[in-house]
């Protein structure tokens, strides 16, 4: 079921209190309620709640602890932390001042996510009515797209190969009357996508390039999402400890699909194009090899020094195609490098962009939307690191330094023609459950990007 706000007329009133507000609130209630709050020791710490019983013992209201500003600064969705301590019911915010009502309401919607494909899980039984003054329809749209992203990432590779990823794109196209073309298998060679073919040809399902288009007016916006449905590392085989989460290596595709859904559902006046190179990086007799030199769509040659640096190869061909349209803005999203995780950890989505208008708009939007990003540099002196002796480019520079930056520089080589380009090196995974964020697949960056688009594209 898509995430929705509660519409019941008998929702329990929820009073959101900070620690300094508890005594004043209790003093304004009946002696029985005041005594109950005092006896319960409720201090309104962040992540706590207290049910208020009526004469028959059934709850008639609830309190949610909102903590201190310092505590809230450490949580993306502070109010959602109180949800597990509430009794199953629908709630309406009756009093309290929220730092950002729309963000808190979205966090509550996010908390209703359940992944139930392989195991039954209790449904969302603590719902919220939409707070006054927010755009409830927009928030439901954002949450539905986030749930799509989470589902796609959470599904294991046995059920989320290139064919299934293609079907997800086809379902999205059908829902919003978008056009879609898919180039599959050896047709990739015929249509000059040689690196997508080389990376995916050893997989159990044929590699493919998914090309979705929607909208006939407005600026051109092109999204490119890495769709490596499973990454063994190829002949440079990953150790088992590094392979365990590789079902999420299509997180870039999942995030761009979620972003595309938001854009279409909200009817943004853009010419949207979504490109997803969908492959598996597998080990088999046709696997591409260390030491091979591949020729890209642009004719640039790439020396393969590590088959585990395959994401930039498939993205390069897709970016080159996208740039041929001279889009006003082109974005790539990929679970590309472990170096990005070392640099900023799992919570932040590092991005690269040289356009200050986009950077400024995105940075503000990320804070407003509780969708954090962090700017990284296209550091020009590192260009020499991706230039080997026998080919134009190196897919895996030796030395181990600046891995996320050199990957971004590699991708930028294939974006000539795009008016603006930004690359997001995301993780797309929540390592441990947090308020509004279940353990597992996660959207990183799409809400911030969506909020920045009107300023960047003049919508």
**Of 406, 407, 419, residue with least CA distance to 357:** 419
DSSP 3-state assignment of 96?
coil
Pure H helices in 62-190: 69-72, 101-110, 136-154, 162-175, 187-190
Tell me the pLDDT tens digit for each residue of 236-289. Answer: 999 999 999 999 999 999 999 999 999 999 999 999 999 999 999 999 999 999
CATH of 12-134, one of 3.30.410.10, 1.10.10.10, 3.40.50.720, 3.40.220.10: 3.40.220.10
Q: Indicate the domain borders of the chain.
A: 12-134, 140-457
What's the distance, CA 349 to chain centroid?
9
Report how far residue 4's alpha carbon sits from residue 108's, in angstroms, rounded to the nearest whole number: 10
Tell me the pLDDT tens digit for each residue of 271-283. Answer: 999 999 999 999 9
140-457 has the same fold as 12-134: no
How many CA atoms are closer than 13 Å to the CA of 436, on its beta-carbon side? 20
Q: What is the pLDDT of residue 411?
A: 98
Report how far residue 48's alpha carbon sits from residue 206's, in angstroms, rounded to the nearest whole number: 51
Q: Which two tokens stand for residue 407?
A: 């990957």
Respond yes or no: is residue 238 known to be catalytic.
Answer: yes
Q: What is the pLDDT of residue 399?
A: 84
Mutual angle of helices 403-412 and 311-323, in 10-degree steps: 30
**Between vectors from CA 361 to CA 360 and to CA 365, what angle results, nearest 5°?**
120
- Kind of pairing, strands 49-53 and 227-231? unpaired
- Catalytic one of 150, 208, 247, 312: 312
Neighbouring CB atoms inside 10 A of 375's CB total 13
Report how far residue 451's alpha carbon sits from residue 266's, in angstroms, rounded to the nearest whole number: 12
Report how far residue 166's alpha carbon sits from residue 276's, in angstroms, rounded to the nearest whole number: 9
Tell me the pLDDT tens digit for each residue of 295-315. Answer: 999 999 999 999 999 999 999
Q: What is the pLDDT of residue 394?
A: 97
**pLDDT reading at 199 higher than 90:** yes
**pLDDT reading at 122 higher than 90:** no
**How far is CA 112 from each of CA 116, 146, 318, 394, rounded to the nearest angstrom?**
12, 12, 35, 44
How many CA atoms are closer than 13 Å to the CA of 200, on its beta-carbon side? 36
Q: What is the pLDDT of residue 366?
A: 98
214 phi and psi angles, rounded to 5 deg: -150, 140
Tell me the pLDDT tens digit for each residue of 353-408. Answer: 999 999 999 999 999 999 999 999 999 999 999 999 999 999 999 888 999 999 99
pLDDT grade for 159, boundaries at 50, 70 and 90: very high
Q: What is the pLDDT of residue 138?
A: 98
Q: What is the pLDDT of residue 123?
A: 78
Q: What is the pLDDT of residue 227?
A: 98
Q: What is the pLDDT of residue 437?
A: 97
Report how far residue 385's alpha carbon sits from residue 363's, in angstroms, rounded to the nearest whole number: 29
**pLDDT reading at 291 higher than 80:** yes
Q: What is the pLDDT of residue 424?
A: 98
Which CATH architecture fits 140-457? 3-Layer(aba) Sandwich (3.40)
Q: Which two tokens stand for residue 115?
A: 């992944």
Q: What is the pLDDT of residue 1?
A: 75
Respond yes or no: is residue 117 known to be catalytic.
Answer: no
Tell me the pLDDT tens digit for each residue of 5-42. Answer: 999 889 999 999 999 999 999 999 999 999 999 999 99
pLDDT grade for 438, boundaries at 50, 70 and 90: very high
**pLDDT reading at 124 higher than 90:** no
- Catalytic one of 114, 138, 213, 238: 238
Average pLDDT, the chain: 97
61 phi and psi angles, rounded to 5 deg: -165, 175
pLDDT grade for 121, boundaries at 50, 70 and 90: confident
Q: Which residue has the tokens 């260009």?
A: 383
């Amino acid at each position: 079921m898509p995430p929705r706000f509660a519409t019941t007329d008998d929702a329990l009133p929820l009073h959101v209190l900070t620690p300094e507000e508890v005594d004043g609130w209790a003093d304004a209630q009946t002696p029985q309620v005041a005594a109950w709050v005092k006896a319960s020791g409720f201090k309104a710490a962040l992540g706590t709640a207290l049910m208020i019983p009526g004469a028959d013992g059934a709850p008639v209201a609830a309190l949610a602890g909102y903590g201190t500003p310092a505590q809230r600064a450490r949580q993306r969705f502070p109010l959602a932390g109180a949800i597990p301590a509430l009794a199953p019911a629908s709630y309406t915010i009756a009093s309290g001042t929220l730092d950002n009502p729309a963000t808190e309401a979205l966090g509550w919607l996010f908390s209703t996510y359940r992944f139930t494909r392989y195991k039954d899980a209790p449904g969302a039984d603590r719902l919220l009515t939409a707070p006054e003054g927010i755009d409830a329809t927009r928030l439901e749209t954002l949450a539905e797209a986030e749930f799509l992203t989470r589902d796609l990432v959470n599904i294991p590779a046995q059920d989320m190969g290139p064919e299934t990823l293609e079907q997800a794109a086809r379902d999205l196209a059908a829902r919003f009357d978008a056009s879609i073309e898919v180039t599959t298998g050896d047709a990739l060679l015929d249509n000059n996508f040689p690196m997508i073919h080389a990376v995916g040809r050893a997989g159990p399902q044929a590699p493919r390039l998914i090309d979705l288009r929607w909208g006939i007016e407005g600026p051109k916006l092109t999204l490119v999402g890495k769709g490596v449905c499973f990454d063994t590392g190829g002949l440079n085989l990953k150790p088992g400890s590094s392979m365990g989460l590789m079902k999420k290596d299509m997180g870039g595709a999942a995030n761009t699909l979620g972003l595309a859904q938001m854009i279409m559902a909200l009817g943004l006046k853009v010419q949207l194009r979504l490109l997803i190179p969908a492959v598996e990086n597998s080990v088999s007799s046709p696997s591409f090899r260390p030491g091979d030199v591949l020729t890209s769509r642009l004719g640039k040659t790439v020396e393969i020094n590590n088959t585990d640096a395959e994401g930039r190869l498939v993205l390069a061909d897709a970016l080159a195609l996208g740039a041929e349209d001279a889009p006003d803005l082109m974005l790539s999203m990929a679970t590309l490098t472990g170096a990005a995780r070392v640099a900023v950890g799992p919570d932040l989505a590092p991005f690269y962009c040289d356009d200050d208008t986009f950077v400024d708009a995105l940075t503000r939007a990320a804070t407003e939307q509780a969708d954090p990003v962090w700017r990284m540099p296209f550091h020009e002196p590192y260009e020499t690191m991706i230039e080997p002796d026998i080919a134009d480019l190196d897919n895996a520079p030796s030395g181990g330094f600046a891995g996320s930056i050199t990957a971004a520089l590699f991708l930028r080589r294939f974006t000539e023609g795009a008016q603006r380009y930004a690359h997001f090196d995301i993780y797309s995974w929540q390592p441990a459950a947090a308020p509004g964020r279940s353990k597992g697949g996660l959207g990183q960056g799409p809400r911030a990007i969506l909020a920045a688009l009107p300023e960047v594209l003049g919508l």
